[in-house]
């Protein structure tokens, strides 16, 4: 179904795809992140315009890629651009989708993609450090529970923020 040639230091070459995407030949940016000890994650940056097409086949594509890269978790993220704030007196407005906060929020949603974010809490410590707790939808617990540590490591590497992923405790 999927045919991937190689994942070098910086590129994954995608040769043939799923019927919804069609047959395309693209080069994606790819990076490898150390999660803990022997665990590693492969982060593939998908062009922003193709993100909807990849979301349709995300689960199958990640499953196949994890078979190819045995022992590594695969995460697909759309490539987004952060624009600096406009200078004083400038008539040009920066779109909200290009702000640092918006890009980091969208990146967080891309990282946990099969699951949905149902809540967030920010914990401020006395020493001034911040820790964000992200609560994921319990429906996808079986698919994402083993990747929670990977999600934290990838978001810390890409955004520079400490985050903990959890599932909310439901009282029966």
Q: How far apart are CA 114 and CA 134, in angstroms?
A: 15
Q: Over 70: is that where the pLDDT of 4 sits? A: no
Q: How confident is the model at residue 68 (pLDDT cuts 50, 70, 90)?
A: confident
Among the residues of 11-76, which ranges form H helices? Answer: 51-56, 58-68
Domain ranges of the chain: 29-166
Instruction: Provide the mean pLDDT of the chain.
Output: 83
Q: How confident is the model at residue 13 (pLDDT cuts 50, 70, 90)?
A: very low
Q: Over 90: is that where the pLDDT of 11 sits? A: no
Mean pLDDT of 97-109: 95
Q: How far apart are CA 80 and CA 103, in angstroms?
A: 7
Mean pLDDT of 45-68: 88
Q: Over 80: is that where the pLDDT of 107 sits? A: yes
Q: How confident is the model at residue 99 (pLDDT cuts 50, 70, 90)?
A: very high
Q: How confident is the model at residue 110 (pLDDT cuts 50, 70, 90)?
A: very high
pTM score of the predicted model: 0.81
Mean pLDDT of 24-35: 75
How far from each other are the two terminal CA atoms of the chain, in whole angstroms? Answer: 43
Q: How far apart are CA 139 and CA 128, in angstroms?
A: 34
Token pair, residue 143, equals 């698919």
Which candidate, 75, 45, 48, 46, places its Cα nearest to that of 63?
75
- Which pLDDT tens digit goes with each residue over 132-155? 999 999 998 988 899 999 999 999
- pLDDT at residue 10, as a whole number: 41
Q: How far apart are CA 134 and CA 153, in angstroms?
A: 14
């Amino acid at each position: 179904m999927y045919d991937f040639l190689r994942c070098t230091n910086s590129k994954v070459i995608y040769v043939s795809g799923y019927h919804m995407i069609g047959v395309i030949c693209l080069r994606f940016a790819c990076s490898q992140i150390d999660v803990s000890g022997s665990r590693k994650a492969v982060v593939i940056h998908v062009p922003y315009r193709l993100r909807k097409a990849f979301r349709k086949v995300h689960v199958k594509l990640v499953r196949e890629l994890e078979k190819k890269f045995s022992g590594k978790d695969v995460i697909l993220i759309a490539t987004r651009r952060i624009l600096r704030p406009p200078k004083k007196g400038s008539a040009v407005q920066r779109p909200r989708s290009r702000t640092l906060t918006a890009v980091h929020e969208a990146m967080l949603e891309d990282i946990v993609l099969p699951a949905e974010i149902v809540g967030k809490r920010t914990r401020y410590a006395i020493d001034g450090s911040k820790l964000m707790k992200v609560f994921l939808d319990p429906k996808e617990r079986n698919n994402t529970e083993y990747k929670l540590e990977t999600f934290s490591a990838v978001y810390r590497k890409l955004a520079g923020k400490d985050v903990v992923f959890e599932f909310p405790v439901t009282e029966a």
